Structure 1
Amino acid sequence: MRVCIVGSGAVGSLFAANLATLDDVEVWAFDLSQAHVDAINDRGLRLTGAGEVQARLRATSDPEELPPCDFGIVATKAMHADAAIAATAHAFADGAVASVMNGVGNEETLARHVGRVIRGTTFPAGKLLEPGVVQWDVKGDTTFSPFEPAPASAEQVELLADACTRGGMPTAAVADARPAQWRKVIFNASTNPIGALTGLTHGRVCERPDLRALVTRLVDEGKSVAGAQGITLDADPEQLIDHAAKPEVAYGHKASMLQDVEARRQTEIDFLNGGIARFGRELGVPTPTHDAITALIKGVEASWT
C-alpha cells in the first residue's frame, strides 16, 4: 500500500511517521516547506513527547514527483486544502483521499478534485519543533467513513483505518463519521478561539469560570446546529473539554489557533466557528456567540496588516 500525506505539519507528520513504521506501507509526504522536506529526506521524521517515533519516508515539495497512491490523507489547514488537492490530485486517480482537517466542509473541497473521498476526523495534536521534528502533545482516536456524495468504498475505508491503527494511530471505520466529526468541530470551535484571543492554554481557559461559561454557550449553539441536521454526537463535548483540561492530558496544550495567532498566520476560523454559523444560517438555527467569536478572530487577523 502506498499512502501520501498531503500537508506534513504537526498532524500530518503524526500520520506520516506512524504509518512509515509499517513494513507493508510506503509513505510519501507532500509539503511546501522545503526545509521540512529536506530534513525528512536527510534525517527522517522524528516524533517526541506523547510518543517517540523515528521514521524514514519520502518527502517532496514538487507534486509532480508523487507516484500513484492508494490513499491520500489531507492534513493541511482547511483554507489551504483546495490548492493542495488540486496540485496532487493526479496521484489519486485510482485511489481514495481522506480528510483529517479541522472544521466542516473539507470533504466537499476534496470531492471537487478526486472521485473517492473518505470523511474523517482526528483528535491527536502536536506542534512542529523544527524541520523534521514534531512534538506529539495529545494522543487520540481517528474516525473514517465514506463521504456520501463521492464515497470511497467501505473496503477502502477499512483498509486505511486498519493501517493507521497498526501504525499507532487508533482509527475506527464506521458507516457515518459525522457524529465524531461534529463532536470535534464543536470541541475545537468552543475552545480554540478562546485560547487564541486570550493567549491561554486549554487548561487555563477551563479553570476560569467566566471563560468556561463562554465555552458552554458555544457548545450549546454547536449542539443545536448538529441536532438540526439529525446528527447525534458520539460523545458530550463538555465532558471531553473537561477531560482535556486535566494536567496529564492537555492542560498546557496551546491550541492550533493560538499557535497561528502567535505566528500571525491566517486561522481556520471560517471552517470552525464560521462553519458552524454558516450551517446555522442554512438551517435557521441562531448562533450569535459563534458569530461574535468569528468577528473577533477576524479582527485580530486584520490587525496584522
Structure 2
Amino acid sequence: MRRDDPVRVAVLGCGAIGSLYAAHLARVPGVEVWAADPWREHVAAIERDGLRVTGQADFTAPVHARTHASDLPRCHLGIVATKSLHTADAVTAAREALADAAVVSVQNGVGNEELIAGVLPRVMRGTIVTAGAVTGPGVVRYDAPGDSWLGPFEPRPAEPGEIELLARLLNEGGLRTHAVADARGPQWTKVVFNAATSPLSALTGLTVGQVCTDPALRAQVEVLIREAAAVCAAAGIVLTRDPAEAVEEAIREAFAHKPSMLQDVLARRPTEIGVLNGGIADEGRRVGVLTPAHDSMVALVRGLESSWEQA
C-alpha cells in the first residue's frame, strides 16, 4: 500500500453494529469503506444515498455496499459484524477480499474468532458495547454510546500495528476505541452481561431495563452473572468491570433497549444463544465449573425456537 492510497476497510454485516462501524469509519479522511449484507433494499439505499446515522449522532457517510461479499475489492482491514450463525459463510465468501487483511470480530458471544481464523490468516478479538438498531434501508439509529476494544486473537494474531491502525481510525471517526494486549477481558465482560440479560428478555418480551428492575428476574440475572464470573475466574479471564455496574448502567442509559436476541425472537429468527450462554457453558465444562443456569437458558431458548418450526 502506497502512502497516498486509501485504507480500504471491509465490513461484513450491516446490522446495527456493522452499520455504525461502517458509517463512522467512512467519514475519516483517507478511508474507503466497503460493506456487504444480503438485505438488498438496505444495500441499495446505502450505495445510492450513503449510510445515515441518527440518534446519538446525525450524519450521512459515503459507503460502498454490495449484497455479496465475493464482490468486495481487496481490503487492508476487515470487520465481521454478522450474526454468529453466518460467520463461516461470510468470511469464506470474502476470502479473496480479505486474503491480506487483518480482520476483527465485533460479534456477540465467543467462538467467532476461531471460525474466522480457520479461513483468514490474521485475526483480532474485538468487542463493542454501543447499542443501536437499523430503522430502515440505509438508516441506523445510534441508541447508546460505548467503547470498543481491539486485541490479538492469540492463535493467529494480527500485527500490533494493524490493531493500532484500526483503533486509531475508529477513534478519528467518533467511536472511542482501545487497542489492548489482551482483549479477552472486555470481550467476556460484554458476554457476561449479555448472557445474563438477553435470554431473559427474549423469553419474556421485556426490555433490558424491565428485566433488570423486576425483582424475580433480577435474581435470575444475578445467578447467571455469578456462574459466568466463576467460569472467568477459573479460565484466568479478568473482567474489565463489575457486571453489576453494567446492569445499573443499562437501567439508567438503555432501559428501553430491546437486545438483539429479543429482536430475533420477535422476528422468529434463530438466536445467538449458542455463543452467549452456550459459550459460557462450554468454557465452564472446559475449566470444570458447573453452569446449570446457563444450560437452562440454552434449553429454554432453543425450545422456543423449536416451537416455531412446529407451529
Give the alignment's TM-score, normalised by structure 2: 0.96
* Among 69, 74, 77, the residue aligned to 2:75: 69
Question: Partner of 1:25 in structure 2?
Answer: 31
Question: Partner of 2:193 in structure 1?
Answer: 187
Matched residue type, 2:250: A
1:150-161 equivalences in 2 (<5 Å): 150-161=156-167
Q: Which SS does the other structure have where 1:304 is aligned? A: helix
1:154-303 equivalences in 2 (<5 Å): 154-246=160-252, 249-303=253-307
CA displacement 1:205-262 (0-9 Å, x = unmatched): 111111111000000000111111111111111111111111xx10110111001100
Question: Partner of 1:88 in structure 2?
Answer: 94
Percent of residue pairs bearing the same amino acid type? 52
* Among 40, 45, 54, the residue aligned to 2:46: 40
Matched residue type, 2:259: A
Question: Does the aligned pair in 2 maintain the 1:18–1:53 contact within 8 Å?
Answer: no
2: CA distance, partners of 1:53 / 1:11? 16
CA displacement 1:176-211 (0-9 Å, x = unmatched): 000101100000000011111111111111111111
2: CA distance, partners of 1:200 / 1:62? 35
**Count of residues paired in the alignment:** 303
Single out whichever of 201-210 and 107-116 deviates more from structure 2. Answer: 201-210
Question: Does the aligned pair in 1 maintain the 2:126–2:150 contact within 8 Å?
Answer: yes
2: CA distance, partners of 1:291 / 1:52? 41
Question: Does the aligned pair in 2 maintain the 1:121–1:142 contact within 8 Å?
Answer: yes
1: CA distance, partners of 2:138 / 2:48? 9
* Structure 1 portions without partners, runs of 5+: none
Question: Partner of 2:4 in structure 1?
Answer: none
Deviation at 1:50, TM superposition (A): 1.7
Question: Partner of 1:9 in structure 2?
Answer: 15
Matched residue type, 2:205: G
1: CA distance, partners of 2:112 / 2:173? 25
Q: Which SS does the other structure have where 2:33 is aligned? A: strand
2: CA distance, partners of 1:191 / 1:63? 32
2: CA distance, partners of 1:65 / 1:227? 43
2: CA distance, partners of 1:304 / 1:49? 34
1: CA distance, partners of 2:70 / 2:154? 29
Matched residue type, 1:252: A
Question: Partner of 1:144 in structure 2?
Answer: 150
* Among 94, 100, 103, the residue aligned to 2:109: 103
1: CA distance, partners of 2:58 / 2:298? 36
2: CA distance, partners of 1:87 / 1:125? 27
Q: Which SS does the other structure have where 1:245 is aligned? A: helix
Matched residue type, 2:308: W
1: CA distance, partners of 2:211 / 2:180? 33
Q: Note the aligned Cα RMSD (angstroms).
A: 0.8
* Structure 2 portions without partners, runs of 5+: 1-6
Q: Which SS does the other structure have where 2:78 is aligned? A: strand
Question: Does the aligned pair in 1 maintain the 2:201–2:262 contact within 8 Å?
Answer: yes
CA displacement 1:251-279 (0-9 Å, x = unmatched): 11011100110011100000000110011
Matched residue type, 1:95: A
2: CA distance, partners of 1:297 / 1:239? 26
Q: Which SS does the other structure have where 2:114 is aligned? A: helix
Matched residue type, 1:253: H
2: CA distance, partners of 1:82 / 1:138? 29
2: CA distance, partners of 1:301 / 1:147? 32
1: CA distance, partners of 2:262 / 2:58? 25
Hey, which bits of structure 1, 4+ residues long, moved more than 6 A? none
Q: Which SS does the other structure have where 2:134 is aligned? A: strand
1: CA distance, partners of 2:24 / 2:294? 35
2: CA distance, partners of 1:258 / 1:201? 8
CA displacement 1:117-174 (0-9 Å, x = unmatched): 0111111121111111111112100000011100101111000000011101111000
